């Protein structure tokens, strides 16, 4: 896995998501990496030797920003509470714009602890085709690069 060489952060963005969203988020990751954004995904077949908890802690700590793809699968994930607490703890130490929440269009409502982190990008995901829309991806990339 590629990393940034200088500074405390090896990745531009940590990708948090539910196991059943892996295919969707992997396509999103591919699009972001084409836009020069290095991603550290929570679930990555290349990192199978690492426990999920270690992956979450390492990924959040070593990434400039955190992108959470919030779906039923994410909320029902066994690691959900640990993941959200790691991200919110980092948020307290750094800036508010270090978290980007994308809501799955099928999810009725965001969990309360993530609602306050809604942005125009959160509301822009109206259906799954949004995740493939070049204009949306450019806006997302720009938001993730700010401050990088």
Q: Where are the domains of the chain?
A: 11-145
Residue 3 has pLDDT above 70, yes or no: no
The radius of gyration computed from the CA coordinates of the chain, to the nearest angstrom, equals 14
11-145 belongs to which homologous superfamily?
Toll/interleukin-1 receptor homology (TIR) domain (3.40.50.10140)
Nearest CA to 84 out of 116, 126, 46, 37 is that of 116
Q: The tokens of 48 are what?
A: 């199978």
pTM of the model: 0.90
23, 31, 37, 42, 54 from 48: Cα distances, Å: 16, 23, 22, 11, 11
52 vs 73, higher pLDDT: 73
pLDDT over 70 percentage in the chain: 90
The pLDDT-based confidence of 6 (bands split at 50, 70, 90) is low
pLDDT digits (tens, 9 = 90+) for 61-110: 999 999 999 999 999 999 999 999 999 999 888 777 788 999 999 998 88
């Amino acid at each position: 896995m590629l990393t940034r060489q200088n500074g405390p952060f090896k990745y531009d963005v940590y990708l948090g998501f539910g196991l059943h969203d892996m295919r969707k988020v992997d396509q999103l990751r591919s699009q972001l990496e084409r836009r020069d954004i290095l991603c550290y995904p929570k679930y990555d077949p290349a990192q199978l030797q690492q426990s999920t908890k270690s992956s979450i802690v390492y990924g959040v700590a070593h990434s400039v920003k955190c992108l959470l793809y919030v779906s039923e699968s994410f909320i029902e994930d066994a690691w959900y509470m640990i993941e959200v607490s790691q991200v919110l703890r980092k948020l307290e130490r750094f800036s508010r714009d270090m978290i980007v929440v994308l809501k799955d269009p099928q999810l009725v409502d965001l969990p309360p602890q993530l609602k306050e982190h809604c942005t125009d990008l959160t509301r822009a995901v109206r259906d799954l085709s949004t995740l493939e829309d070049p204009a949306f991806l450019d806006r997302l990339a720009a938001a993730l690069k700010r401050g990088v």
